[in-house]
Each structure stands twice: as C-alpha cells, then as structure tokens.
C-alpha cells in the first residue's frame, strides 16, 4: 500500500499546480519538499503557495522557519515522517511537492545520523567559504569531499567542511554508515517539460514576481535580523536583488542575472532528475492523461 506520493520537477515546471489537482482527486494533503519555501521571509520570490491554494488544499511545512531557524535535510526528514503518519492515519494521501533533491533522496533512501555541528564550527566553516581558496581548504581537510564535489558547489562544500571540522570524519564516511530509513512505500513522479519551455516560464514568472512585490520582500529581508548563515539569504534571485538595492547593480541587470541564476538552478535539477529517472514515472507535461496515470499508479500500489 502506498503511504505517500512524491511529485518533483525543475522550478517553474508546473508541479505545484499539478499537485493541487492530484490532491483534489486523491483526497490528499500537500507537504513541502523545497528547502527555501520552509522560510517565511520570501514567499513571492520562492513561489510559495498562495492563500487561495491553501484554501483549496491543506499545505504543510510552508513558511514556518523564522529569523534564527536553520532547516536541514535531517530536520525535514523527521518532520515529514511524522506528517506522513498523521495524514495517513486520517485516511488521506500525503503528497510531497518540491525540487530539493537532497530532501527527496533522504526520504526515499534514508538518513545518516551525522552528529549536530556546534554553532561556532558552523560559523568557522562559513568564514572559510568566503575565502578565494575555499576549495583548496576543503581539499586539505576532506580530500574525499573534494573528489566528489564540484569546486563551485559552495553549499555542499561548506557542509562537508563543517562536518569534518566538528567530527573529524568526512561527511561521506558518515553517509557510508547504516542509514536510518523510514518504512514508507512511495509512488514517485517527475514533471519534466521541454527545457526551453521551463526557461521561458522562469523568465515570465520572475517578471510577475517583480510586479507582485519580490523586490520589497528582499528589501525587508535585508532589514531583518536573520542569522547570516541562513539559507534564505541565498534563495535564487535574492543575492542579485540585494546587489541592486545596495546600488551595485542596476535593477535591469539584477533581474537578468536573477533569471539566469534560476535557469542555472533548473539545469542542475534536470541533471539530478536524469540520474533518478529509473525511480520516477516521468511526464513531459501535466494533462488529464498524466493525472489519470498518476492516480492509477498510486491506487495500484495501494491495493
């Protein structure tokens, strides 16, 4: 019997709208699987569900983290496991929606119990991350991570360094240990439209975000005492708009760079999903046919 559905895809692929349709058909509730939509600060820029969406369907884990909170795959994993159990016990279908591959991989394949990193060590790792020779520093402390990670993947390199500094072991040594895995049966679907279509959606959506108030959101964030290692400060489009507000970029240039950052993010999501393709039923568009296929697959697993 299927315990939950995963619906993923690159940003601006239409998965949020598809999830609502799927939830209405299957009497489901939607759970967030996007690391940026956990934070309350940038609901427009991070494309959080609207109030109208939340009226149609129950949504969980959206806009719940504040100024001093830090989300993580481990924290999200425990929250989601509890939610799936609660929603299933109510006779409803949990539908996880989002494009954060690490979160989805953790739910499907398990969680390594890496010890908590002390705040002082976390800050030290982020200080190293600002140095021009950051990749060389990581390679010195954790050659395993340096072999596996791209030099430009600053977020994962920082995480690898902080784990090595805190525990004396590579994060990959920890991940090789026995994983704690939830005993859920998952039906997994991916919405993968033509890439050019997604890129066009990204550009159009960002223009609409600007009309809806994304710049003012970022302005307010800059005036908020958010911890400096908060991921929300690195949300796609936020650094570029911050640069514009500081007078370092024109607004036009900031918008174009933000769109490019979003397209680059979508490209990375496509790459990740290609590696996961055998685990997912993939659709190039969301239609009545794909809805029917997803519902039938979910019900067949339930029987």
Number of H helices, E strands in the chain: 14, 6
Residue 179 has a CB neighbour count (10 Å cut-off) of 12
* 189 bridge partner residues: 7, 281
Give the tokens for residue 295: 């519902």
Beta strands in 33-89 (DSSP E): 59-60
State how far the Cα of 171 lies from the Cα of 189, in Å rounded to an integer: 29
Q: What is the largest CA-CA distance in the chain?
A: 59
pLDDT of 248 reads 98
pTM for this entry? 0.85
CA separation (Å) from 142 to 30, 115, 203? 38, 17, 38
Task: Tell me the per-residue pLDDT of 261-277, one tens digit each, with 9 for 90 and over.
Answer: 999 999 999 999 988 87
Residues sharing a CB contact under 8 Å with residue 277, sequence separation 6 or more, in sequence order: 190
Contact 28, 93 (CB under 8 A): yes
Same domain, yes or no: 195 and 226: yes
Given a contact cutoff of 8 angstroms between Cβ atoms, the answer to whether 165 and 121 are in contact is yes
Report pLDDT for 180: 73
CATH number (domain holding residue 57):
3.40.50.300
Residues of the chain where predicted confidence (pLDDT) is lower than 70: 178-179, 301-303
Q: CATH number, domain at 165? A: 1.10.20
Other Cβ atoms closer than 10 A to 147: 9
Say whether both 136 and 201 belong to one domain. no
Is the same domain home to 85 and 215? yes
> Would you tell me the crossing angle of helices 134-141 and 119-129 to the nearest 10 degrees?
130
Q: Give yes or no: residues 68 and 196 share one domain.
A: yes
Whether 287 and 193 map to the same domain: the answer is: yes
The reported pLDDT for the residue numbered 166 is 94
**Domain that includes residue 165, residue range:** 119-175
pLDDT of 275 = 87
Strands, E, within the chain: which ranges? 4-8, 28-32, 59-60, 93-97, 186-191, 281-283
Class of residue 257 by CB neighbours under 10 A (exposed 0-12, middle 13-18, buried 19+): middle
Pick the closest to residue 31 from 2, 55, 7 (CA basis). 7
Q: How many domains does the chain have?
A: 2
187 and 94 within one domain:
yes
């Amino acid at each position: 019997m299927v315990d939950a559905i995963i619906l993923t895809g690159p940003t601006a692929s239409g998965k949020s709208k598809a999830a609502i349709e799927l939830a209405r058909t299957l009497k489901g509730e939607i759970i967030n699987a996007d690391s940026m939509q956990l934070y309350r600060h940038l609901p427009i820029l991070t494309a959080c569900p609207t109030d109208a969406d939340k009226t149609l369907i129950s949504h969980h884990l959206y806009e719940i983290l504040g100024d001093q909170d830090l989300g993580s795959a481990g924290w999200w994993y425990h929250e989601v496991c509890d939610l799936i159990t609660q929603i299933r016990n109510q006779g409803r279908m949990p539908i996880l929606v989002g494009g954060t591959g690490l979160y989805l991989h953790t739910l499907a394949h398990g969680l390594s119990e890496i010890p908590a990193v002390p705040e002082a060590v976390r800050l030290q790792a982020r200080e190293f991350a600002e140095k021009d020779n950051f990749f060389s520093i990581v390679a010195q402390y954790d050659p395993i991570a340096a072999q596996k990670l791209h030099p430009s993947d600053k977020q994962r390199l920082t995480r690898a360094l902080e784990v090595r500094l805190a525990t004396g072991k590579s994060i990959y040594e920890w991940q090789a240990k026995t994983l704690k895995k939830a005993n859920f049966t998952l039906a997994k679907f991916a919405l993968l439209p033509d890439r050019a279509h997604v890129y066009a959606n990204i550009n159009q959506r960002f223009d609409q975000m600007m009309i809806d108030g994304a710049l003012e959101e970022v302005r307010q964030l800059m005036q908020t005492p958010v911890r400096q290692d908060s991921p929300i400060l690195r949300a796609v489009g936020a650094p570029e708009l911050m640069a514009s507000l500081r007078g370092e970029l024109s607004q036009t240039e900031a918008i174009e760079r933000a769109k490019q950052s979003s397209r680059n993010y979508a490209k990375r999501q496509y790459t990740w999903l290609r590696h996961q393709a055998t685990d997912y039923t993939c659709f190039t568009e969301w239609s009545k046919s794909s809805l029917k296929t997803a519902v039938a697959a979910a019900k067949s697993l339930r029987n």
